[in-house]
Structure 1
Amino acid sequence: MLARQDSPDAEVPRIMIGYWHSVIREFLLPAIVSGEQSWIGGKTEPYHLPDPAETIAAYTDDNRAIQAWAMGRAESPPDYEPDSFSQLSEEGRETMSMLVIGASAWFRGMERTNTLTALNDALLAISLGEEPPPDPVTGQPFLWDSATRTLSAPEGVSEIDPVTLP
């Protein structure tokens, strides 16, 4: 239960592959095959995607880019500019904008999870007399108050409550 996690992102590839699979199988392929778009608000609307293979390839590339960033192989997450998917048809761009709409919130949540995991690992390291790892998101050290035995996130990291060593 107390085992430290060597890599806060160890599960990201599995999660992202599962997410890709679910989106393709549950949303895109049925819409492409049936010509109906029922995945937005439960409405059934006509759906025509003139470039399904290109849209699926763009979504796959985007999923890989998220994985690369999450695993530290890219310096930043994908940046969704208005022309990010300019190679796609208008319908393809619209579909991609729906698929990536929550990506920035997902990135923030993943970074928060990584900081929380590392914060607990750092507290465990301190209790064992070891050097605590830094925050994997900012690269900054956690803030240790030996008088109160409280460990806090680095300066500027919000929404992370401090933890206290009993």
Structure 2
Amino acid sequence: MNEQIKIKINKEYKNLFPELAESLEKEGQLQDVLLDEDGFPIDGYKKILLCGLEQLRSRTVKDAKATGYGLLSKEQRNIVLRGLHQLLLKKGLGSSEIVDRLAKRYGIHRATVYRILYPKENVVANATTSRKPQNLVIEELKRENANLKKELELCQKNFKYVMEELMKLRGESNAGN
């Protein structure tokens, strides 16, 4: 069993996990927070939210996958990402590198990470002018669709003309009988 460590609870997030906060205040940290080789949490997200990683005892686990991140609410995940951002800034990493690492580690887009880290700044445009292959295919399909619509309209006009001529011929043949 690990040595007990008394820790301070972040009052702002205490209401997120009141039972855990109470337990941590009374008993301290009983279990280590698990980190991967890059320093990203694998287990212990709730403790990190409540206390911050700096004051928690942790240990590194090799070849592990994050287990608890997906179980957190959107708000809680955002708090974790902001906390990790601050921690990595203290390690001397640049913002762009941190965003790349967080996006890769948690399987989210870079733009999403930027929106989470800088919610009041307009650092990412909503519209994209991406020239990715899938976007080029979509543009080509739209052009094809427009051409097909024109062809259909022309066919409909021709069909209408042919039907009118056919009706005239029938009318003439019925008048002749």
TM-score category of the 2 structures, normalised to the smaller one: under 0.3
- Say which structure is richer in strand: 1
Report the structure number with the largest CA radius of gyration. 2
- Say which structure is richer in helix: 2
Normalising by structure 1, we get a TM-score of 0.24
Normalising by structure 2, we get a TM-score of 0.23
